Structure 1
Amino acid sequence: MKTRIGILGLGGVGGYFGGLLAREYTKSNTVEIIFIARGETQKNIVESGLKILSDDGETIVFPDLVSDNPELIGTLDYLICATKTYDIETSFELYRKCIAPDTIILPLYNGVDATERINKLFPQNIVLQGCVYIVSMIVAPGIIKKIGPYEKLFFGSKSTKDSRITTLQSIFEKAKIESYFVANIEETVWEKFIFISALASATSYLNQNIGQILSNSESKQVYISLLNEIALVASAKGLKMPKNIIEETIIKLEKSPQEATSSMHRDFLANHKTEVVSLTEFVVKEGQKYRVSTPVYQLILDKLQNKNRFNFRF
C-alpha cells in the first residue's frame, strides 16, 4: 500500500514544501500526496496545478488528490499541517475522520504551542514538533512565491523514536527537501520562534520590512529589545539556547531578503486576521508565568491588539 501524506494549509510553507513532495511523488508507486484545500485554492490547483515561483523560475505541480471532503481524502499515514495558528482547533475538527490513531502529525506553524494543542485533540497520536526557515507567501490562490535561496525544515520528537519518523525524513530527502531530524527539537523550535516572534512583532508594530528595520537605529533597537526579552523567557523555561542567540538571530535577519517582511505584518496590511496571540501575546503570558519582565513586548501587544480589534490600517 502507498504511504498517504496529507498537506493541510497551502500557504507559503505548506504550499512550497507540499509542492516539492508533489513534484517528486505524484503518480508514484510508493507515496500518495493529498492537498487538503477548498474554495478558489482547490479550484485553481485542480484546473491549473499548484504554481511555485522562485528565483530559479516557475514550477507547476499536480498532487494525486485535491479535496476538502474527508470521505474522499480518507485515512492518512502522515498529516503535515501549516495553517495559521488561530485555525488549529477548527481545521483539525473538520478533518478528524482522516486521522487514525497511528497517523503521525507534523505541525509547521509560526508559534511554539501547536504540538501541545494538537495533542489535546489527539492524545493517542504521535505529534511531532517542527519548524521551517523560508521566505514564501501566497501570491494568489494556488500560486506560491519563494524569495531567496534559504529553505530548511527541522522536525523531531522529544517523546518517541518511532521508525516511521525516520521514514518521513527519507521521504523528504528524496523530494530534495533540505530537512533535518534533530534530537533537541524543542530548543530548535524555540530558536526559530525567537527569530519569528521578534520579527513579526517588530515589523507589524513599526510597519517596516527587514531592510528598513536594520537600516534604522531606533527600529533595530526595538528588534534587539524584543530578542533580549524573549531569550530571557526561553532561559527561564529551562531551555538550553545558544549563548550567542541574540547575535546569531541578528545575523539570520541580515542574511534574509531585505525587502521581505513577516507574514503577520502582511496580514495587518491586508486587514486579515493575524497571529498576534501566538507570536506576541504568548511571549507576554509566558513572561508573566515565569516572572520575566517583557515591557517592549507588552507595549507592542497593546498596539497590535487595538489594530486587530478596530481593523484599521497603518
Structure 2
Amino acid sequence: MKFAIMGSGGVGGYFGARLAAAGEEVTFIARGAHLEAMRRNGLRLTSIKGDLHLERVQTTDDPATIGTVDCVIMAVKTWQLREAAEAIRPLVGDTTLVLPLENGVEAADTLAEVLGEAVVLDGLCGILAWKEAPGHIVHAGVDPFVRFSERDNRNSERTARLKAAFDRADGVSAEIPDDIRVAQWSKFLFICALSGIGAITRAPIGVTRQLPETRQLIEAILVEIEAVARAQGVAFPDDAAERAMRFIDAMPAESTSSMQRNLMAGEPSELESQNGAVVRLGRAVGVATPVNELIYAALLPQELAARDTL
C-alpha cells in the first residue's frame, strides 16, 4: 500500500518506519531539521521491539508533491489537526483512507468536517515514543498497537486490507475492534489521566502513582472520564476505570506524556483535547468533572502563553 505519514514524530515516525521496513511505500511529511536529517541520513529508530535504520526514506514538506495515496496516517498534535487536514487534500482520492492516530476522542469528527465522512476511519494507537533528535525516533515503552474501524463499526474490505499491511510489519499489533468508541475512550481514560497528573505535578508516573495524594487524584480523573463516556453512550465494561489504573501501574516508572513534556517546555500542548475535552463533553451531557476542571483551569494560563494568546 501507498502511505503518507502526516506528522513524523514519535507516533508517525515509529509506525511509518515499521511499515516502510515491511515493504510498504511510505512518504514521511516533515519539516525543518527533522526533514533535512531524514533526507541526509534516513530515519533511525531505537526501540524496545528492535532497532531499525532506514538509510533512505521518502520525505517531503509538501503533500502536494506526493499524489494520491491509499492511506494517510494523521499523527500531528491534535491542535494542528484541522490545518493538517486541509494540507492533505491533494493526497486524498476516492479510495483513500485517512487514519487518525491521535490522542483524544474527537479527531475523526474534525477530519470528517474537512474531508468528508467517506474517507475517514476512527482510530487510535498505543506507544511511548518521541523524536529524540532530527532523524531519530525513540520507542521506550508500551507494545505498539493500532486499532481502527469504519466509524459505524461495520466490517469492510478496505479496513481488512489496511490491517493486512500493518500485520506484515514487525513491532506492530493491529486490531479491528468490535466497538471502536469503546477502544478510543479506553485509551482516552489512561492517557488523559497520565497527561493531567503529569502536567500539574511535573513528575513522572512512577512518582504520582505511588504517592497516596496524587494516586487519589489519578483515580478521581479516571472516574470522571468514565462517567462522561457512559453519558455519551459508550458501552464501557463495569471495571473500565480499574483497568485503566492497572495499565498506568504497569507503565515504566519514568513515563511522561507528550502533553506534560510540551507544557514543561513552554510549548503548545493537547490540553484542549484532553482534560479540556473532558470538561467540555461533560458539560454537554450534564456530568460534573470538578477534578478535570481544576486541572484545565490551572494549566490554561501556561497553554495560552505558549500559544502567545494570553
The correspondence for 1:127, drawn from 120, 127, 130, is 120
Give yes or no for contact 1:7–1:14 (8 Å, CA) kept in 2. Answer: yes
Deviations, residues 21-68 of structure 1 (Å, cap 9, x unaligned): 11111xxxxx41111112211111111111111236632115652112
Match of 1:28 in 2: none
Match of 2:51 in 1: 58
Give yes or no for contact 1:5–1:76 (8 Å, CA) kept in 2. Answer: yes
Deviations, residues 168-220 of structure 1 (Å, cap 9, x unaligned): 10010011221111121111011001111111111101211110111111011
Describe the SS at the equivalent of 1:146.
strand
The correspondence for 1:37, drawn from 30, 42, 45, is 30
Match of 2:22 in 1: 24
Match of 2:224 in 1: 229
1: distance between equivalents of 2:56 and 2:160?
23
Match of 1:297 in 2: 292
Describe the SS at the equivalent of 2:207.
helix
List aligned pairs for 1:156-171, cutoff 5 A: 156-159=149-152, 160-171=154-165
The correspondence for 1:9, drawn from 3, 7, 10, is 7
1: distance between equivalents of 2:64 and 2:216?
52
Match of 1:277 in 2: 272
Equivalent AA in structure 1 for residue 274 of structure 2: L
List aligned pairs for 1:194-209, cutoff 5 A: 194-209=189-204
Give yes or no for contact 2:85–2:115 (8 Å, CA) kept in 1. Answer: no
Q: 1:311 to 1:168 in 2, by over 3 A?
A: closer
Counterpart check, 1:89 vs 2:82: yes
Describe the SS at the equivalent of 2:96.
strand
Moved more, 258-267 or 133-142: 133-142
Give yes or no for contact 2:95–2:119 (8 Å, CA) kept in 1. Answer: yes
2: distance between equivalents of 1:182 and 1:149?
19
2: distance between equivalents of 1:198 and 1:69?
35
Counterpart check, 1:175 vs 2:169: yes
Q: 1:311 to 1:171 in 2, by over 3 A?
A: closer
5+ residue gaps, structure 1? 26-30
How many percent of aligned residue pairs carry the same amino acid?
32
Match of 1:138 in 2: 131
List aligned pairs for 1:97-136, cutoff 5 A: 97-123=90-116, 125-136=118-129
Aligned-residue offset at 1:69:
2.2
Describe the SS at the equivalent of 1:240.
coil
Equivalent AA in structure 2 for residue 264 of structure 1: M
Deviations, residues 194-248 of structure 1 (Å, cap 9, x unaligned): 1111111111012111101111110111111100111000111111111111111
Counterpart check, 1:264 vs 2:259: yes
Aligned-residue offset at 1:83:
0.4
The correspondence for 2:147, drawn from 127, 146, 154, is 154
Describe the SS at the equivalent of 1:125.
helix
The correspondence for 1:252, drawn from 247, 253, 262, is 247
1: distance between equivalents of 2:77 and 2:46?
22
1: distance between equivalents of 2:193 and 2:279?
12
Aligned-residue offset at 1:72:
2.2
2: distance between equivalents of 1:71 and 1:310?
33
Give yes or no for contact 1:35–1:63 (8 Å, CA) kept in 2. Answer: no
Describe the SS at the equivalent of 2:304.
helix
Give yes or no for contact 2:38–2:57 (8 Å, CA) kept in 1. Answer: no
Give yes or no for contact 2:4–2:73 (8 Å, CA) kept in 1. Answer: yes
In the superposition, the TM-score normalised over structure 1's length comes to 0.93
Moved more, 87-96 or 252-261: 87-96
